[in-house]
Every structure is written in C-alpha cells, then in structure tokens.
Amino acid sequence: MFALKQFIHNLIIAIGRFLAPLVPQKVPVTFVGTNSTAQLCQAIGQTGTKKLLLVTDAMLVKLGIVERVTGALGEAGVEWCVYDGVEPDPTFAQVQTGVERFKSEQCDAVLAVGGGSSMDASKAIAAVASNDKPIEKLEGMFKLRKELMPLYALPTTAGTGSEASMVAVVSDSKAKAKKFIIDPKLYPSMTALDASLMTGVPPAITAATGMDALTHAIESYVSVSATDETRRLSRAAAKMVFDHLPTAFASGEDVEARGAMALASYYAGVAFTRASVGYVHAIAHQLGAYYKTPHGLANAIVLPRVLEFSKGPAAGRLAELADAIGIEGGSITEKADRFIEAVKELAATVDIPVVLDSLQRTDITPIAKRALSEAHANYPVPRYMSQDDCESLLGSLLD
C-alpha cells in the first residue's frame, strides 16, 4: 500500500511538472526602497482607480502605519476606505465582511497593507467580489473564472512572500482547516517593498516571518520541481536571511537589514510559487488550523525535523545551500549536516522554541493524516513520508 501511495504521488507530481510551464507566472511591478510606498500610491493614482479598499489589521491602524499609507494615497489623489478587521489566519467570515465593505463603499480596487494575513484576506476579498461567488466555491486550483479588479500589496513584514504569489490561504473555523485558493489571477498587479514600514515590527514577529522566508527558500530549493531560475532566487534568499535576520531581530530600526529581509522574502515568494513547498508547510498549516500557531513560528519549529528526514535524497541540494551561506569544506553529507545545524543555530539566535507547547498528543494522528493528504496531493517533496514517519516527527515536538 505504501509503495502504491508513493507511486500515485510521484505520478501527480510528474504531471504537475509537465503542466507547470503552461501556468502563467506574473511578477508584479515592484517598487523598492524607503520611498516606495509613495511611488506605489502614485502609480495607483495613475491607473484611474476611483476608490480603493485598504485591507489591514487594527494594530497597524493603531501604530500609525495605515495613516502613512492613506496620506500617500491622498497625495496621489486616490480616494480610500479602510477595512481593519483582519486577524491572524483570516477566516471565511472576515473575508465576507471585507467583501460587503468593498461593495457598500463602491470600491474598484484593493490594497493589502500588512503581513501574510492581510494579503491573504485581500486576495480572497478580491476573488469573491470579482467572481460573485462564496469563498467556499473558489477553494482549490484555477476556480476563478473572472479577472480580479486591480489588486495591490504593501507588505509590512518580511516572510510570507505573498506579494509575489498566486495563493491565498483562508481558515475554515468550523472544519479547523486551512483552505487554499490557487490561481494566476491572484498575483498582485503592483507591490512595494518599503523597509521603513517594517522597523516597528516586534522581534518575535521578525523572527517568525524571517524563518518563514527561509523555509520558502529551502523547501523550494530541494523541491523536485525546482528550476535553475527558482534555485538562483532560493539561494539568494537563503543567504540574505542568514546574513540579515539576526540584525533585523536584534536591531529592529536597522533599515538596511529590514530592506534585505524584504527582498529575501520577495525572492523566496517568486521561487516557491513555481517550485512549491513541502512537508514543513503541510504540517505547519495543520498546526495553525488546530492551535492558531503563527505560520512562520510553526514553520521554524518543524523545519529542522523535516530537513533531517529529507536529508538522504536532498543532501546534494542542502550541501549547495551550505556553500551559499559560506560553509566550507567537508563531504556532501557533512555539508548537509552542517547546513541543518546552521538552521537550528539561526532559529536559536532569534529565540525560536524547539517544541510546541500547544500540541496535544491526541491530535497527532489526525494532524499527520491531514498534513500528508495536503502534501501528497500538491507538493514535490524529495522524500516520501509515511503516516508513521509524520507521527514520529510530530511526537518530537512534544518534548
């Protein structure tokens, strides 16, 4: 049975690799630098947008980040209204509230301001409003029949890479599951990587989102669907995270470090959109659905365990990543081991725990089952994982 499941998975991935070049990959118009928010807002004004729905969370309103953006929109002659009801792991209900606000205010464009949750919510709001269907009907791949209204992204954390992806993740609270909308129409039209908006991010969020970017870089690099182009971006992203995350974590006002992390997140986002991710994300998604564990934190805790599991067939790629971050000498296996140790050391430097306190032993079997169902239907992983393997990995998070 195990061999049959593995064969089916490999067949699904092979078909996906064959069809991947047929799926359009769009890189948004991207503004970079401490003046990029103003540049993005000016560009939005030049497109003829009449009224824009700014989708964000209440904390960014409180911190004054949203006011900086709306000020730039006003200077660009763009009318706006704010929906700040997004919470971590946005739900169907939050998306629907945003859709109702979009319609009642007669908006014709959407701007995400915030982290991955705001960008996921914005994409889902734009998808539902444009296609006039409930979000439940849009879950899955290529379900969007109509083009979206203009969609823009202004990330305030460096990690998710959602500003460069065609994926939106929304939580189904009743089912305790994360749902995915995957479609090329979800690519933002424009984005701005403005490090000056990220200097107030707390250290814990900086750490979790930064490790999220590293996870994207590593999983897309060892993916069997990776290309030369995606690997170049993944290598660059991994090196930038190792070089700059400790500084961004320890010295949050360091604009250079923040800017480098924003680019690393963007590069990794472009890479994983084509090459995909793996078991780290499959498991982390379930931990988020069950316990509302922040996605980046879940990734960071799970990442070293999955790398240890995948090390056999992925050793060559891990050794290449070791070269990229400056690890010298040793055999391929030794370099792979040293790279995994470097990941652990980086996580420790930014105060990532090694266990997940919220994990319940009684949940391990269903979490593993859901994670493998997600991964084996979607992700081009270097080594196939069994139910027992996954349960053992999750068990290691208990203690």
CA distance 247 to 241: 10
Residues 241, 192 share a domain? no
The answer as to whether 7 is a domain residue is no
> Is residue 323 located within the same domain as residue 258?
yes
Q: What range defines the domain where residue 168 resides?
A: 28-197
- Say whether both 208 and 129 belong to one domain: no
The confidence score (pLDDT) of residue 20 equals 65
* pTM of the model as a whole: 0.94
39 and 60 co-located in one domain:
yes
Please check whether residue 275 lies inside any domain of the structure. yes
Out of 165, 197, 229, a domain closes at 197
| Mean pLDDT in residue range 292-300 | 96
**188 and 264 belong to one structural domain:** no
CB count, 10 Å around CB of 191?
Answer: 27
How many domains does the chain divide into?
Answer: 2
Within a domain: 365: yes
User: For residues 334 and 262, what is the distance between their CA atoms, to the nearest angstrom?
Assistant: 31
**Are 87 and 60 spatial neighbours (Cβ–Cβ below 8 Å)?**
no
Residue 2 domain-assigned (yes or no):
no
Label residue 105 exposed, middle or buried (CB < 10 Å: 0-12, 13-18, 19+): middle
The CA distance from 233 to 252, in Å, is: 25
| Domain assignment of residue 1, yes or no | no
Region of residue 106 (phi > 0: left; psi between -120 and 50: alpha; otherwise: beta): left
* 110 occurs within a structural domain: yes
Task: Kindly report the CATH number assigned to the domain that includes residue 189.
Answer: 3.40.50.1970
Whether 4 has a pLDDT exceeding 80, the answer reads no
Instruction: Find, among 218, 179, 235, the residue nearest to 305 by Cα.
Output: 218
Residue 113 makes CB contacts below 8 A (sequence gap 6+) with: 54, 55, 56, 60, 65, 66, 69, 154, 156
The answer to whether residues 210 and 265 belong to one domain is: yes
Same domain, 78 and 161: yes
Indicate if the pLDDT at residue 253 is higher than 90.
Answer: yes
In the chain, % of residues over pLDDT 90: 89
Do 206 and 184 sit in the same domain of this protein? no
Tell whether 264 is covered by a domain: yes
The pLDDT tens digits of the residues spanning 312-353 come to 999 999 999 999 999 988 999 999 999 999 999 999 999 999
Query: Could you tell me which residues are beta bridge partners of residue 176?
Result: none
Residues 76 and 147 in one domain: yes
Mean pLDDT of 257-274: 97
How high is the mean pLDDT of the chain? 94
State the chain's maximal CA–CA distance in angstroms.
63
Q: Are residues 191 and 206 in the same domain?
A: no
355: Cβ–Cβ under 8 A, 6 or more apart, which residues? 301, 397, 398, 399
**Same domain for 178 and 48:** yes
Q: CA-CA distance, 280 to 20, in Å (whole number)? A: 22
Boundary (domain end) residue, out of 150, 178, 197:
197
Judge contact between 238 and 321, C-beta under 8 A.
Answer: yes
Domain endpoint, select from 197, 216, 240:
197
Q: What is the pLDDT of residues 240-252, one digit of tens each?
A: 999 999 999 999 9
Would you place residue 363 in the very low, low, confident or very high pLDDT band (cuts 50, 70, 90)?
very high
Is 187 found in the same domain as 156? Answer: yes
pLDDT (average), residues 137-165: 95
pLDDT of residue 200: 86
CATH code for the domain of 224: 1.20.1090.10
Span 208-228, pLDDT tens digits = 999 999 999 999 999 999 999
159, pLDDT greater than 70: yes
Is residue 149 included in any domain, yes or no? yes
